[in-house]
Amino acid sequence: MRILTKTSLYYLLVSLLVFLIGGVSFYKIMQIEIYDEVDDQLYTDQVNILGYIRQHNKLPSVTSGISEAIIVREADEVHKGIEELSDTLIFSTYDDEFVPFRRLTFTAYQNGKPYEYTILKSLIDFSDLFESTMLAMGWIFLLLLVGMGVVNYAINKYSWRPFYDTLTKVKSYGLSQHKPLHLNSSSTTEFQELNQVLQAMTAKIHHDYLNLKEFTENASHEIQTPLAILNSKIELFMQSENLTQQQAKLLEEMYSSVSRLSRLNKSLILLTRIENREYKVQEPIPLHLVIQEQLEQLQEMASMHQLIVLPPQLEPTFILMNQGLAEMLVSNLLTNAIRHNHEGGTIQVSLSPQELCVENTGEALEVAPELLFARFMSVKDSSGSLGIGLALVKKVCEIYAMTPSYAYANGKHSLCIRFQQKAALA
């Protein structure tokens, strides 16, 4: 939930709580005031009745109506001398409903004989007034709530605009842009401090990235040159006629190690470039054609290992990605299937717009399946394997939101790459 929405909700909840407490308090205060007013009127009528009896030595005339009534009856011995205030309901034939009344009951004497007087005052006018007042308060609360929400959202949106500008620029910023992060100045102290910290931090990161990139490129270039020279010298030395069998074996081991080091250097540089998102050019790649081409190129290697490549099941599938990375992805999967196989084994490739699967026969893994895509992870009998091929596959999958998976059943390894739903177009 965005901070503007969350802040507005907090304001609305606090306002609702305040108005709820205020409404209940207002109701109680009005009720007390109304009852005080009615009670005063009842006691005033009582004083007038008692005064009339003292002055005229007779009972006053009894009146009755919808709004008020005075009831007189002879008091019995049990209830004489009472004075009581209470609430009651009286059915009104005019309104066809029960109407609330406030009642005062007291005893008055005339010629030494007790009479029970009951004075009734209608509360319906006060109830109507209260309902009208509460309805008006409800509308005022609703309008005020909506007004506060709109005004608060507008003010917050204007106040937080520099923050969202900063957030948008930080999201779109990449180290490969070869330029520092530039943020707009803000009149808000906190946002201005945030911008300054972000600019200083990204400038330092950008500087370190350029230094590391330069070092990697220089190291790669400087290492490849002596390795190439060393390879050529070893090849010339191996062509000498006066080599003993022991010397030839040592030279072969040296040549294999140097070639492995050269390939490892190239793979690590490739992995670094992939992690730095340097492969930005993307185009719809016909993956079925790439697989067919890679199978033809690796056919000789598969024949050397006496492997049977079954006819591939390829559906026309186009993937939006970099051409070089697509070829590397397919090549590493097929090379992995060849190296981790046994003589007379099989390789089966299947492709659909949803996923790419490469199946090959072979012994069960000696390591946990979740470690299969880790760097430098290879089994003991994988001759020539650097243990970095599937790590490259995993990095490519991370860039293009693909999902790699592994399974082993019935003596067959199965490596599958699940495409994004919108990435593959048949």
- List the domains of the chain with CATH numbers: 3-156 (no CATH), 189-274 (1.20.58), 281-425 (3.30.565.10)
- E strands, 254-353, are 283-286, 308-309, 313-314, 318-321, 346-351
Task: Write down the pLDDT at residue 384.
Answer: 44
181 burial via Cβ count (<10 Å: 0-12, 13-18, 19+): buried
Asked if 415 and 358 touch (Cβ cutoff 8 Å), the reply is yes
Which residue's entry shows tokens 């004497």?
Answer: 109
DSSP 363: P
> Please, what is the Cα angle at 384 between 381 and 385, to 5 degrees?
75
328 burial via Cβ count (<10 Å: 0-12, 13-18, 19+): buried
Angle 124-159/161-172 helices, nearest 10 degrees? 40
> How far is 287 from 357, CA to CA, in rounded Å?
12
Task: Write down the pLDDT at residue 349.
Answer: 93
Task: Write down the pLDDT at residue 381.
Answer: 47
pLDDT of 148 > 90? The answer is: no
Task: Write down the pLDDT at residue 280.
Answer: 66
pTM, two decimals, is: 0.47
Long-range CB contacts (within 8 A, 24+) of 243-250: none
> How far is 127 from 310, CA to CA, in rounded Å?
91
Q: In 3D, which of 176, 170, 172, 178 has the Cα closest to residue 201?
A: 170
CA atoms within 13 A on the CB side of 28: 6
pLDDT of 39 > 80? The answer is: yes
Task: Write down the pLDDT at residue 65.
Answer: 46
Asked which of 18-22, 161-165, 175-179, 250-254 is least confident by mean pLDDT, the reply is: 175-179
161, 257, 348, 409 from 361: Cα distances, Å: 59, 28, 9, 10
Most confident of 91-105, 127-141, 179-193, 345-359: 345-359
CA atoms within 13 A on the CB side of 271: 20
> How far is 10 from 354, CA to CA, in rounded Å?
45
Length of the chain, in residues: 426
Give the residue with greater pLDDT, 338 vs 243. 338
What's the N-to-C CA distance of the chain in angstroms?
37
Mean pLDDT of the chain: 78
Asked which of 212-216, 288-292, 306-310 is least confident by mean pLDDT, the reply is: 212-216
Q: Cα-Cα-Cα-Cα dihedral of 414, 415, 420, 424, to 10°?
A: -80
